[in-house]
Structure 1
Amino acid sequence: MPAWLEVAIRSVCILIGLFIITKFLGKKQLSKLSFFEYIVGITIGDIAGTMSMDGNIRLAEGITSILIWSLFPIAISFISLKSKKFRDFVEGNSTVFIKNGKVLEENLKKEKYTIDELLEQLRKKDVFRLADVEFATLEANGDLSILLKRDKQPLTVGDVVGNVPSEKEPQTVVMDGAILDEPLATAGLNRGWLKNELDKIGVAIENVFLAQVDAYGQLTVDLYDDKIQVPEPQEKKLLLAAMKKTQADFELFALQTNHEEAKQAYEMNAKKMESLITKLEPLLKA
């Protein structure tokens, strides 16, 4: 067998094997590597590269070595799930750097962190004043988590409006010009509704690169041709306008009727609708 063909076959086999091992390790190892897992990954890659190029190494020996290096972090992960003490020993604990607005210098020294490095990490989180931070901790994976002081935190809808309804995730109903029926059904919609909405904005399904439906039933689309302008969804604005019209109708009915009991009922409903509009307007205008 030619040497180049042997290298090609060995490389393909090793790539397939590494892909299977990576899938078996799970997504956690892909997104969050501990120090030990980082070393294991480098070593396995080095072994695989050597096996693919060096014909003197038997595949059985190389595969055995890769399996041992792969199974070890899997075993550690399994034990970590069962034992908090073992997990703390292997993965480490978070270290508090700032507490009650005060920098804990001893903890900085413990993690070999300088104040310059701390300020750099804060700037990466868009925090440029140390005095704005109430609490900061260095996570086991090296990320810095911060909590701003109450008066420095960004304003949210919950700070303005009480009892904010939960937000559902948007559903992707069209991808690469193909309709996805399962997300449509999850949103409580069907192909007929989708076609009707696309007809309203004058778009054919084959021209849609991506389309999503949000929690309010609004359809947003991205077309293959970026030069074509698509109107923004109007459902929330139309709902707000309908609510204001209903309030105005109640007030009008109250003025037109001579029946005292009916007048009081219209006025009461007009006030309820006004209160509801006040609460929902920030959401419906967003």
Structure 2
Amino acid sequence: MAHIIDTLMRSTGAFIVMMFVTRILGKSTISRMTYHDFVATITLGAMTANLSINTSMNVWQVLVAIVTFSGIAYLLMALALKSRAIRKWVSGQPTVIMEDGKILESNMRKLKMTMDTLNQELREKNIFNIEEVQYAVLELNGKITVLRKPEYLPVTRKDMNLQMNKQSFPVELIMDGQIISDTCIKNHISEEWLISQAKSRSLTIGDICYAVKSSNGQLYFDRYDDRIHQPVDKE
């Protein structure tokens, strides 16, 4: 029983420590996963696992190791922001693998990338014909970004000389049947106005699961009672 309690406490502590470390390192570490981020994530994960289940290791020693490694990772991140040379060494740099519609085989060999991998990445971007590609770049996070040839680019409203309405970022107003007061205040939306809009749709705030003011300024309400008699995947 004592071992179970010890493991429970260690696991809880490990989770709290990693949440704290992740908050310090920031969202970019989660989203980018460059060389530096990959090493930091793997190492911190191993240390946290040891803190959680390896009862033969001293808790404070593991915590010191985690704090030290987190400090190193944070320091490298800070230095990378100030120095392009350090940034290139820590994070690497993008590599062009297609230029002017031509595959750069030498760069692909350096990256140890096969044509199968390249084709798969292109298909994931809805490109099934490689002749559509003008440029392809392997980014720092391991993903490929593609610029299509002009003749394969989608037509935009600007190309058709159509009037474009200004759009704004969607604003969430109600979630789980409760008004998000902070968001309303920041966006100069009164709760009274929101309640009146709900009433005009014969709804109360408690009836609404989710409400958002979309990018085009329209209000969208999703009610708890969807009134769908035969929903898909009911079971």
Quick check: TM above 0.5? yes
Q: What does 1:17-56 correspond to in 2, within 5 Å?
A: 17-56=17-56
What amino acid maps onto 1:150 in structure 2? P
TM-score normalised to the size of structure 2? 0.87
- What residue ranges of structure 2 are gaps of 5+ in the alignment? 230-235
Measured against aligned partners, the alpha-carbon deviations of 1:10-53 in whole angstroms (never above 9, x if no partner) come to 33223222221121111111212223432332232222322333
What amino acid maps onto 2:122 in structure 1? L
RMSD: 2.3
Preserved CA contact (<8 Å) 1:136 1:144: yes
TM-score normalised to the size of structure 1? 0.73
Measured against aligned partners, the alpha-carbon deviations of 1:86-108 in whole angstroms (never above 9, x if no partner) come to 11112111111122222222222
Distance in 2 (alpha carbons) for counterparts of 1:19 and 1:52: 14
More helix by share: 1
Distance in 2 (alpha carbons) for counterparts of 1:183 and 1:9: 37
Distance in 2 (alpha carbons) for counterparts of 1:26 and 1:204: 39
SS for the counterpart of 1:98 is: strand
Q: What is the aligned partner in structure 1 of residue 128 from structure 2?
A: 128
Q: What is the aligned partner in structure 1 of residue 112 from structure 2?
A: 112
Structure index of larger Rg: 1
Q: What is the aligned residue count? A: 229
Q: What does 1:245-264 correspond to in 2, within 5 Å?
A: none
Q: What is the aligned partner in structure 2 of residue 183 from structure 1?
A: 183
Distance in 1 (alpha carbons) for counterparts of 2:215 and 2:129: 37
Preserved CA contact (<8 Å) 2:35 2:90: no
Q: Which has the higher contact order (CA 8 A, sep 6+)?
A: 2
Distance in 1 (alpha carbons) for counterparts of 2:221 and 2:139: 39
- What residue ranges of structure 1 are gaps of 5+ in the alignment? 230-286
Give me the identity figure in percent. Answer: 28
Distance in 2 (alpha carbons) for counterparts of 1:3 and 1:94: 48
Q: What is the aligned partner in structure 2 of residue 85 from structure 1?
A: 85
Distance in 1 (alpha carbons) for counterparts of 2:43 and 2:189: 50
Distance change (3 Å), C-alpha of 1:133 and 1:179: same
Measured against aligned partners, the alpha-carbon deviations of 1:44-86 in whole angstroms (never above 9, x if no partner) come to 2222322333333222211111122221211111110110011
Deviation of the 1:215 alpha carbon: 4.6
